[in-house]
Amino acid sequence: MKILNNNIPKYLGVILLLYVLVAGFLVPLKPGVSSFYPKSVELNEVTTFSITTYNTFHTQSAEVKVWVRLDSTTLLSATEVRVLDDNQLQADIVLGTTQTQMYDLEKALSVIIDNEIDGYMIYPSAILVKPSKGATERPILGSIGRLSDVRSVEAFRFPYRSILYETIRNTFFHVAIWFAMFLLLIYSCYHSIRYLRTKDLHSDRKSEALINVALFFGIAGILTGAIWARFTWGTFWTSDIKLNMSAVAMLVYCAYWVLRSSISDIDTKARISAVYNIFAFINLMFLVMVIPRFTDSLHPGNGGNPALGGEDLDSTLRCIFYPAIIGYTLIGLWMADLNYRFLNLQDKYEIS
Amino acid sequence: MLYLVAISFVVFKLFGSLEGPTRIGIFWIIMVFTAIMVINDSFSIHSSRRRLALYQLYDPIELLTAKLVSNFTKMLIAGILLMTMLSILSNQWLKDWVLFAQVFTLAILGIVIIMTMVSSMTMYSSNQNSLMSVLSLPLLIPVLLIAMRLSLISERMFFDTAVSSNLLMLLGIDLLSLVIAFGLISFTWKP
């Protein structure tokens, strides 16, 4: 009559979490462009751009190329690229009138930088093209390339996202802890239903222990989320709907504690708190899962943003993220198991 | 009733003018506290002997239905009275009263179901009143948020095209809580 019947899940949980910690912190980010200046170019004028890149090794590579993406397949290379140091570049770019028929003047053009060590990095919507003020027409100056000319490097690296940068690693903590919390709550709800059917007090204690651990995970999720928010959105707490809903969800489960402590009879307490747990869980589903999807939110997955998919969670992140969820859930079950055994002893010797 | 008239007069005196979001906010806050007062006693008011008699006479589902209908009627009357008072005092009628009536009915139904369920849970505890507000207020937040949003739309404070989906969501919460309440009442209602 335990939550975990043998030690394998505990070892597995520890190993998975160690893997998540080590790989999550040691795997480097893909290279990326952190700044690109100036933002616009005049037709037929030579413009010098200063480019700052992140996580790159330009000085060690033989040739760094800077491309302007004209349409879906055609690229125009910069006339000259000067490497200042590992993360600093200067590039001269000329857009001649002879090329204007190849691209849409209304749209901002993307820039692609590549070298043979780091692979390629893309800076979307980098250059706005302005009409020239009387400069003479030029022929094509840079060489025209194809998208297949861009060199890429196969390596296990996390995606580079502006605003997120290195904090993308928090996916393995903040998001995974919330997932684990939900799994624990589902399991606790299952034990509440089981208690109502069998009247077995062990199920009641299991459901209480699982809620205790899930609440702990919830607080951990809020803390990691607050730190993440500080670095990406600028404040620890915003009035984002999902934050407020999760705070309310925590309140709902704190009320569960209050309810338990206010009823003295053991059987009544177990019965009522099981009913409240089921009631609260379905409400929580509405709070955190449904309502934020109807309003705008800063979180991915709300207001039309892609949730877990697309570019935000690529295959390298998945390799760590899914083991992280399993790892936290197993550790949570272990914690709940300890808590459940403690509650058993408490009831047995009537320590309050 | 006297309580509602008195409190709306106090609020009117306090704010001077009751318009737009103030009126809607005040309305829902007063409604929630009225609901706590009205619904709190729906199970505990009976003495233990009477509870035993009710237990033997009726099925828990019948009892819950009766309590829901009576609470819903009480809250409906209270809400209409309160809105009339507030409208008279602010000298301004609701701009889109059809939408407001829909929102009002659905939200009151949700509040009544959730609170009746919570009151059936709190009747065993010693400090019932405080527990009632602690347990029910967080559970009521989804209903209240949607209700406030929709009633602001009915006051023409802002426009939104998602009115019908919000109304459907309110109805969904109501139906869901109703189903759970009927499923669980036989476990909570025991003398």
pLDDT in tens, B75-87: 999 898 888 888 8
Tens-digit pLDDT profile for residues A182-194: 999 999 999 999 9
**Domain count for chain B:** 1
The set of residues, in sequence order, having a beta carbon less than 8 Å from that of A111 and lying 6+ positions away, is A33, A36, A51, A66, A67, A68, A69, A122, A123, A126, A127
Best mutation target, B139, B146, B171, to test chain A (most A CBs within 10 A)? B139
pLDDT digits (tens, 9 = 90+) for A59-89: 888 888 888 887 777 788 888 888 888 888 8
CB burial string A165-199: b at 16+ within 10 A, e below: bebbbbbbbbbbbbbbbbbbbebbbbbbebbbeee
Q: What is the pTM of this model?
A: 0.82
Is the pLDDT score of A13 beyond 60? yes
pLDDT the model gives residue A208:
92
Q: Is the pLDDT of residue A313 over 80?
A: no
- The more confident residue out of A170 and B12 is A170
**Region A296-324: what's the mean pLDDT?**
63
- Residue keyed to tokens 């209700």: B147
Please tell me the predicted confidence (pLDDT) of residue A136: 67
Contact criterion met (CB below 8 Å) for A219 and A238: no
pLDDT of residue A20 exceeding 80, the answer is yes
Q: Which of the four pLDDT bands, split at 50, 70 and 90, describes residue A97?
A: low
**Exposure of A299 by Cβ count < 10 A (0-12 exposed, 13-18 middle, 19+ buried)?**
middle
Average pLDDT over residues A23-41: 83
Q: Which residues of B touch A290 (CB under 8 A)?
A: 169
State the nearest Cα–Cα gap between A252 and chain B, in angstroms: 6
Average pLDDT over residues B40-48: 72
Say if the Cβ atoms of A262 and B166 lie within 8 Å. no
Judging contacts by C-beta atoms under 8 Å, the chain A residues touching residue B134 are 255, 258
Confidence of residue A216 (pLDDT cuts 50, 70, 90): very high
Peptide bond into A292 cis (omega under 30): no
Residue A191's pLDDT is 93
Q: CB of B187 within 8 Å of any CB in chain A?
A: yes
The percent of residues in chain B predicted with pLDDT above 90, rounded, is 12
**What is the pLDDT at residue A293?**
64
pLDDT band at B69 (very low <50, low <70, confident <90, very high): very high
Residue pair A200/A299 in contact by the 8 Å Cβ criterion? no
Which domain range does residue B157 map to?
2-188
**Contact, A288 vs A218, CB < 8 A?**
no
Please state, in angstroms and rounded to a whole number, the distance separating the CA atoms of residues A72 and A148: 11
Copy the structure tokens of residue A233.
């959105």
Which residues 42-81 of chain A have a CB within 8 Å of chain B?
none
Mean pLDDT confidence for A169-181: 88
Nearest CA in chain B to A280: B139
Task: Confirm or reject contact between B131 and chain A (CB < 8 A).
Answer: yes
Band (pLDDT 50/70/90 cuts) for residue B72 is very high
Does residue A279 sit at the B interface (CB-CB below 8 Å)? yes
Closest CA relative to residue B29, chosen from B93, B86, B114, B71: B86
Dist. CA A95–CA A120, nearest whole Å: 22
pLDDT of the residue at A55: 83
Q: Which residues from chain B sit within 8 angstroms of residue A264, using beta carbons?
A: 126
Position A226 pLDDT exceeds 80? yes
Q: A262 touching B, CB under 8 A?
A: yes
DSSP SS3 for A250: helix
Q: Which residues pair with A145 in a beta bridge?
A: A75
Min CA distance, A185 vs chain B (Å)? 16
* pLDDT value of position A294: 63
Size of interface A-B (CB pairs under 8 A): 69
Per CB-CB distance under 8 Å, the chain A contacts of B162 are 294
pLDDT on residue A304:
39
Query: What residues of B are in contact with residue A283 (Cβ under 8 Å)?
Result: 139, 142, 177
B110 to chain A: closest CA residue: A283
Q: Which residues contact A30 (CB under 8 A, 6 or more apart)?
A: A55, A119, A121, A157, A158, A159, A160
Highest average pLDDT, of A286-300, B42-56, B76-90, B103-117, comes from B103-117
Residue A127: phi, psi to the nearest 5? -120, 130
Mean pLDDT of B31-59: 79
Question: Does position B115 have pLDDT exceeding 70, yes or no?
Answer: yes
Q: List, in sequence order, every beta strand (DSSP E) within chain A.
A: 32-37, 40-42, 46-54, 65-69, 74-77, 80-85, 88-94, 109-115, 119-130, 144-146
What is the mean predicted confidence (pLDDT) over B14-39? 82
Residues of B in contact with A252 (CB under 8 A): 138-139
Angle at A59 (CA atoms; ends A55, A64), nearest 5 degrees: 85
pLDDT score at B24? 85
Residue B64 in contact with residue B116, Cβ under 8 Å?
Answer: yes
Residue A309: pLDDT band (50, 70, 90) is very low
Mean pLDDT of A292-306: 55
Question: Which one has a higher pLDDT value, B114 or B6?
Answer: B114
B116, B120, B126, B135: best mutation site toward chain A, by most A Cβ within 10 Å?
Answer: B135
* Per-residue confidence (pLDDT) for residue A274, from 0 to 100: 92
Q: Which chain B residue is nearest to residue A292, measuring alpha carbons?
A: B142
Pick from A89-103, A236-250, B50-64, B117-131: least confident:
A89-103
- Give residue B172's pLDDT: 86
Q: Which domains does chain A have, with CATH numbers?
A: 8-26+164-349 (no CATH), 32-149 (2.60.40.10)
Using CB atoms, which residue from B121, B162, B190 is nearest to A276?
A: B121
The shortest C-alpha distance from B95 to chain A (Å) reads 24
Mean pLDDT of chain B: 83
Cross-chain residue pair B173–A263, CB shorter than 8 Å: no
Question: Given a cut of 80, is residue A319 above it in pLDDT?
Answer: yes
A286 near B CB under 8 A: yes
- Mean pLDDT, residues B121-147 taken together: 83
Question: Residue A307 above 60 pLDDT?
Answer: no
CB A7, CB A27: distance < 8 Å: no
pLDDT over 70 at A298, yes or no: no
pLDDT tens per residue, range A104-145: 667 788 888 888 888 888 888 788 877 777 666 666 667 777
